[in-house]
Structure formats: C-alpha cells, structure tokens
Chain A
Amino acid sequence: MAGLTPAETAAASTAYAEDAIAQRTDEVDPTSRRARHAAEPDDDAARRPTTTIPAPPAESDVPARPRAIGGTGEGGAFPVLAAAAAAVGFTALLFYQLAPLSGALGLVVVGYLSFLVFYTVLVSYENPGPAVRAKVASVIVPSLGFVLLAALVLVVGYVLIRGWESLKHLNFVTQDMSFAGPLDPLTVGGIVHAAIGTLEQIAICLAITIPAGIICAVFLSEFPGTFSRFVRTIVEAMTALPSIVAGLFVYLSYILIWGHWVETHLSERLQWLAPGKSGFAASLALSIMTLPIIVRAADVVLRLVPGHLREASYALGASHWRTVWQVVLPTARSGLATAVILGTARGIGETSPVLLTAGFAASVNLNPFSGPQVSLPLFTFDSVKSPEPSMVARGFGAGAALMLLVLLLFVLARVLGGRGPGNLSKRQLRRRMVASYRDARRFAERSRSRSVVPDSAPAPGGDSEERHV
C-alpha cells in the first residue's frame, strides 16, 4: 500500500463498506456482537460460522473515486506548467548571466534537466514518494518517445526542405547529368539516370530474391527437419553480414575474378557474360544483402498460419502442394507482401554495396548488363562530396527523391499488409460473408431438390461430383 495517500485509502475502504451495507441487518458494532456470542454459547446461531463485517469508518462521507495510479493530469496541469516556466527562467539565467554557455543543443539539455528537477520538487510537496516517482516517470517516458519522433521529423523534414531547392526545377526529374557540370546552375541537369538505375537494379534484385526467398521460406516452414534447421541457422547467420562486405564479395568474385576468367578464356562473342561494374553487379550485391532478410521475415509470417487451416485442407483431401498454394500462401499473403516491401525499402536505400559494384555514370544507361549505372543513393553520396553548392543541392534533391520513394513503398506496405493472417478488413469480411451466404443458399436448394425428387434426373446446374452422392 506504499503508493496510497490517506485519502485514497479512505476511499477504498468506503467502497468496501458500501458493498457490505446490503448484507447488514443491524447496526451492532462487531466487537459487541462477538461479545454477545461469547456470552450465549448455547444459542443456535452461535454455532453457525459467522462473518465479521467491519463497521464503516467514521469519516465515510468521502466520495468513492478510482485510485490514482500516476500521470501528470491529476491535480491539473499546473505543476507541469509551473515547472516549465521555472526551467525557462533558470536556463536563461544560467546561459546569459551566470555562466555564459553556448549552443542550442546544450540549451535544450540543460532546460529539460532543470524542468525535471523543478517538477520533482513541486510534485513532492503534495504527494508521497511512490506517487512522486510515478509522476516523474510519466513525464520522462513520453518525452523520450517525443525525442525519437522529433528526430524522425527533423531528419525527414530537413532533407525534404533542402531537397526542394532542386526538386522544384522540372528539369531535375527529366534530364540526366551528361550536359551538366558541377558549376552549372540547378536549371540544368537532373537525376533521371539515377532514378532509372535504382528502379532497374531493385527490379533485378526482386526478380532474384522474391522467388528464391519465398520458396526457401516455404521449404523452412513446410519441411521441418535437420536440414531445414541447418538452412535456417545459416540464413540467420547471414543476416549479420555487413552490407559493405556483401559489396566487397561481389566486387572481388564477380567483377575481378569472374571478369578476368571470362576475359582470358572465352571468345569475343561471350564477353557480355562479364560486364564488370554494372547495374547487374549492383543488383547481385543487393540480392545477397536482402535475401536473408526476406527469407527470415517470410519464414516468421508463414509460421503464423494457423495449423487448423492446414489440417482442414488435408482433411478435405487436398495434397500438400494444393494446401500450400491455396491455403498457406493466400492466408499469409499480406504478411509476405509486407516482408518483401520492407526488404525492398532496406535494399533501395543501401549505398555501400552499390558503391563498390555499380560504377559511376553521368548519363542514362538503360542496359544494366553493360557499363556503369548510377543509382539514387550513390548519386547522393557522390554529389555531396563535391565542394560546389549546386552539386550539394543536387545531392539533397536525390536524397529527398529516394526518401519519397521509400515513403511510398512504406505506405504501400501498410495498406497491403499490417494485418495478421485471418485478420480481415471490413470489406474482406463482407465479401467472405456474402460468399458463405451464397454457398449456404446453394446447399439448401440442392438438398431441397434432392428431397423432393429423390432419384430423378440430375439436379439443375449440378456438376458431375454430386451425381453419385
């Protein structure tokens, strides 16, 4: 009962007493009743077990109310506002008069810490220790959450605002950089080559990872055993592979070693097999990086499919393959879509594997199998290294475009997925109800026609299976 104020204790016992009033027959004080029982031992009532009900406390006019469990709202927002005002004053004094400090960040940090101290002191006048701790916690915890969201808004907002400077020019999304040097103004040149590169690379990456990832996840969840456990362990280990190491692997094995082998061993006509730094090499690196992520996420989703759905399908005589294709995968569809889209969002924004494998080009290269092909993150990274302000602005523009692309993918993932298997939206639920209503009517009609004419010509519209039932 450490967290209770005296008033709260009284309120609790009042509620108890009010419950008790209904059962009470007389106003006798419990102690005197016990005394009477002791005095008359032969009474029939005395042998029966009795329940002693405590009398209501004298100060029972306190109204019953729910016990306070913490939160700043109780007692009004006054302590919060007062502490905030005190903190502002104290911080201003500290920063401009007593000990001249500098920096906006330091101002905020010192201001917040002093706010906490003032709030604790203010609250501790009226509350016992545990309530003070609860109140201080209910200030600190939301403000930590607020800091994280503020950081997100700051990052997204800053990049979008600085990117707008170049994104507002139409040529930025219709031209490439082949005629624009670093010194040219923003009205010349754009990022269309990088956008094409990003889309092509991620498309090839998805063409590799979606089939491989989903088949592997189906294997992991449908064929449990030592081998699939081993595969799962290795896949989990590979999620730890740093993305730059995936890039280094493709650079060394595909671009250098394989490229050298093709150059020395194969004829002129087969040289396309080793394009060197290219969009395809970049998508290989991205695939190696995203494959374990997608397999792992899809595996988790597939394992959530309820077992009774599977068993119902087997009980109806479906084969293993039919069960997977018509029960397991459709049930997990939204989760699988989310897994793939989140893996894509992760892959699309990765710079480090692309940095080693894609090369750098200033003009549109539609063919991912030949020649260097730049992508949005790589273009951003390369542009902001330049000392020219217009180039930095282009980098921010490309970063903002990339961010918008990721945002779009993310919204898509939320719209498609975000619900567990079997957890339907309103429209899906209505559609399913209409379907089962139709089925029920069909069954009813069929049984009616069968009972009226037991063995006549086949039922109207009936198919071959039901004839020999």
Chain B
Amino acid sequence: MVTTTIPGAPAGESADVPRRTTSRIGPSDHAFRLVARAGGAAVLVIMLLVGGFLLYRGWAALQVAGWSFFTTQAWDPDSNNFGVAALLVGTVAIAIVAVSFAVPLATGTALYISEYAPRRFQRTLVSLVDLMAAVPSVVYGLFGFYLLSGKVIYLSKWLSTWLGWIPIFRVVEGGQPVDPRDPLATMSVYSSSTFIAGMIVAMMVTPIMCSVMREVFSQAPVGEREGAYGLGATKWGMIRTVVLPFGRGGMIGGTMLGLGRALGETIAVYMIITPLFEINWHILQNGGISVSALIAQRYSESSDFGLSALMAAGLALFLMTLVINFIASAIIARSRSGAESEA
C-alpha cells in the first residue's frame, strides 16, 4: 500500500509563524504619500465646500418657506411666495420628453454600431457619437431656436390634431381648448413649448446614453451569440435573446445617466422656452420652465434672500440628479456586464 508520510513538527519547536517582511520607505515616497493624500483631501474639501454651502444657504430659504416650498407654483421670494412645484414638474416634463426621444435613438444607434455596422467603420462611428456629446450646448440652442422650432410646430399641430384626445397632447389657451382644425388659429400656441425644448435636450443626451449602451452591447459574450446562431436564430433573434438581455443593466443605467444630464441642462432650454410659472402638463403648448432656466433668468435681479431661494431650487435639482446618478451607477455596476463568461 502506498502511504504518504507527513513530517511531524519537530518536538520542542513552536508552530510556524509568517516571515516578517519589512519595507523601508524612502523620503521621496513619504513626500509622494503626503502630496497624493493632500491632493485627494483638497478635492474632497472643495467638493464638500460646494455641497455644504449649497445646503447651508438653501436651508435658510427652505426654513422660511416650509413645506409650501414643494407645493407653491410661483417664484416671488421677496413676498415670501415661492416654491418649486411648477419648476420640478417643468424640469421633469422636459427630461421625460427628451428621454422618450433619446432612448430609441440611442438604443438603435448603439445596436447599429455594435452589431450591424461594417467593422472598419466602427471606430469612426464611435468618434462621431463622442463628437456629438462634445458639441457645446449653446450651439444646440442656436440650432433649436432658429431651425428646429420652426419645423416642429407643424409636427406639434399634427400630433394635437390626431392625438388631442390624450390629455398631454391637448392644447389649451386661456382656459379654452384650442381646436387644431380651426384654419384661422395661429401657430404661435405651438412655439416655445416643452416638446421643442425636450427634442433639443434629447439631441444632447442621446450620445451619452449611446456610448454607455454600445459599451455594454459589445461585451455580450461571443459564446452565447454563437450558441444562438447555432440554435438557428436569425440576427435579430440573436440580438433579442442574447445582446439585449445581457445589456439590460447598461441600457437602464445609460438612460438614467442621460436623464441626469437632461435635468440639469440650462442654456438650450432657456433659449427656447417661454417662462411660465404654473404646472403645465400640455407639452405641445407654449410655455414651461425648468429649475436651471429659472436660475439663469433670475440670478441678477435677486436680493440676498432671493439668491438663497434660488440656491434651494438648485439644491432640489442637485439632489434629484444625485439620486438618479447613484441609482444609475448601481444598476450599471450590478448588471452582468463585464462578468466573464466561458466563450
């Protein structure tokens, strides 16, 4: 019989202890540690300062306004009548319009780049999408104000004519519903609307969503793709059963990142929309407001307390964006994307 002999510990000796290793840290490393820590701490201090100041000044206004801050539909801080109800609804409405345009576009483009486009064009296409993300927002604003809004009002009218029975597509002026079929009606009710602002914001956020989604789609494991083809799937069948389920986390995360950017967009919205301080669910109709457009509009004429009130509005926007961004990064990190699969 074969036996394995295990050498016993020699009697009288203590058990093994790990070898003690020491490392000498030179003066340059000490300096490096110090500088790196100081750099990290400095960035932390700057960021906490911004956040803390925002909280501190905004809190002052919040205490004066109380709970009515979240229900008031007006912005008149000096007579103590101000609130973010209309602002938040307007901001969210613009962001929702933007996201509902951007998600199909971004998904389609990401799928096209990762699955359908010829391989030699892929890098060029990726660069073009990244370039679109780098185009300044004021340029989008110019485009939206001078070219797009003149064209979109016809689409708005068409939507309101055929889909006017859906409440959000109805157009109301002075309490009276406007009849889109009335040939004498002016087109001006359709201009400067949430819908147009949302379309422009969609053009800005689509590239952000698209690059997150493309990254995730291209990581879909080759083994599973080939498995789907081997079982007789068509290309679309493969995408539907392998790529899209694999990339679901990235799609949701990318969408929320885009949503976060859409909520904070200022200049393009400010250039297009006509300010209106009441909750306006009729997205095709003239008038709307967003928090950032309000700040851009009111900062110069505000008193000290008025600025605090603007800070409180900014704080509300920041917290909303923050929550959305954190959820987005948690979803991206938890999704299967990046997990190795045998292939």
A residues at B contact (CB < 8 Å): 1-4, 67-71, 101-106, 109, 130-131, 133-134, 137-138, 140-145, 147-149, 151-152, 154-156, 158-159, 162, 211-213, 215-216, 218-220, 222-223, 227-228, 230-231, 234-246, 248-249, 251-253, 256, 288, 291-292, 295, 319-322, 324, 342, 345-346, 348-352, 355-356, 377, 380-381, 384, 395-396, 399, 402-403, 406-407, 409-410, 414, 418
Contact = CB atoms under 8 A, between A and B. Distances in A.
B266 A403 contact: no
Q: Do most interface residues of chain B lie in helix, strand or loop, or is the interface mixed?
A: helix
Nearest to A155: B143
B108 A231 contact: no
Contacts of A102: 154
A106 B159 CA distance: 10
A222 B37 CA distance: 10
A158 B53 contact: no
Interface string B179-219: 00000000000000000000000010011001000000000
B40 A158 contact: no
Given A103-B151, A414-B127, A249 B50 contact: yes
B233 A406 contact: no
Interface of B: 25-26, 28-29, 31-33, 35-44, 46-48, 50-51, 53-54, 57, 104-109, 111-113, 115-117, 125, 127-132, 134-143, 145-147, 151-152, 154-155, 157-158, 203, 206-207, 210, 229, 231-239, 260, 263-264, 266-267, 271, 291-292, 295-296, 299, 304, 307, 310-311, 314, 317-318, 321-322, 324-326, 329
Contacts of A137: 235-236, 239
A69 B46 contact: no
A240 B310 contact: no
7 contacts: A105-B152, A145-B117, A148-B106, A245-B54, A320-B25, A342-B130, A381-B138
A350 B137 contact: yes
B46 A291 contact: yes
Q: Do most interface residues of chain A lie in helix, strand or loop, or is the interface mixed?
A: helix
Given A69-B229, A158-B143, A145 B109 contact: yes
Given A235-B47, A377-B138, A242 B264 contact: yes
Contact of A380 (B130, B138, B296): B138
Contact of A134 (B35, B145, B237, B299): B237
Contacts of B36: 215, 218-219, 222-223
B234 A130 contact: yes
A134 B234 contact: yes
